[in-house]
Amino acid sequence: MDVLRRNNVKVSGTGERTLVFLHGFGCDQSMWRLVAPAFENRYRVVLLDLVGAGQSDLTAYDPARYSTLDAHADDLLAVLRALDLPTVALIGHSVSAVIGMLAAIREPERFAGLVMVGPSPHYLNEPGYAGGFERADIEELLEVMASNYLGWAGSFAPVVMGAPEQPALREELAASFCRTDPAIARHFARVIFLGDNRADLPRLRTPTLVVQSAEDAIAPRAVGAYVHQQLLGSQLVVVPTTGHCVHLSAPRETIAALAPFLDALPLPVAQPA
């Protein structure tokens, strides 16, 4: 299968260096529309949909294959090879921050830098670790998704988005959840919320920026601080907004957080696809 069609890859921008943007759960590449264009005048910008999301090939979503995040990391690396991109900087939101980390661990030479926006390597509270959720909370969330998916989408979107002063963003996220195939969403949610990638953090050697919302019910500040502490030499920026989607609720502040880090990376000239 053509991996570029499978992941609905879109390329724009005029720069010689390349940024790759990856979206979070229940979303697609359109969620970067307020941030990615700001970099197109000096970067080549690559957007894609995770398999199972947006305009990706939904028939390619095999629950057995995508039982861990490693398969999405494989897909990302396949896209980079198909575009003949030797080195990129990757900006991943939420689960895609972890997907990007896994890909960078596997092929570190391909990644000049990694931006982790609202990352969480593990959502469950454990002894000595505050992930933000008890297992019973996650099991209840998954049960509601199974019994009343549309109701779940309408109630969960405001929790994720925060930003009560921007109700249109909450409605947009709820609509995005509703467009996602419910069976895929439930399966992917289980993989995400019950997964544990804490042990992978010390294996990452790529220069990393952690972008954290000031108030995030999904990935609390304690989790962002944990990720920052586990990644030797990483940088941490707290964006003064609420919610899990800073690139939507505070795009200007997010761009301001990303730009100095990205512009300082020694990215080589990208080869044309």
> Which sequence positions are flagged as catalytic?
94, 216, 244
Return the residue matching tokens 């990757």.
90
Q: Which residues pair with 88 in a beta bridge?
A: 111
d(C-alpha 142, C-alpha 138), whole Å? 6
Q: Strand, helix or coil at 35?
A: coil
C-alpha distances (whole Å) from 171 to each of 156, 166, 176, 182, 217 are: 11, 9, 9, 18, 18
Q: Where are the beta strands (DSSP E) in 14-163?
A: 17-22, 43-47, 88-93, 111-117
Q: What angle do CA 48, 51, 56 make, to 5 degrees?
A: 60
End-to-end CA distance of the chain: 17
**Residue 84 DSSP symbol:** T
d(C-alpha 68, C-alpha 54), whole Å? 20
Which residue type does 84 have? Answer: D
Helix (H) or strand (E) holding 103: helix 95-106
Return the residue matching tokens 């895929």.
184
d(C-alpha 95, C-alpha 182), whole Å? 18
d(C-alpha 250, C-alpha 258), whole Å? 12
d(C-alpha 98, C-alpha 77), whole Å? 14
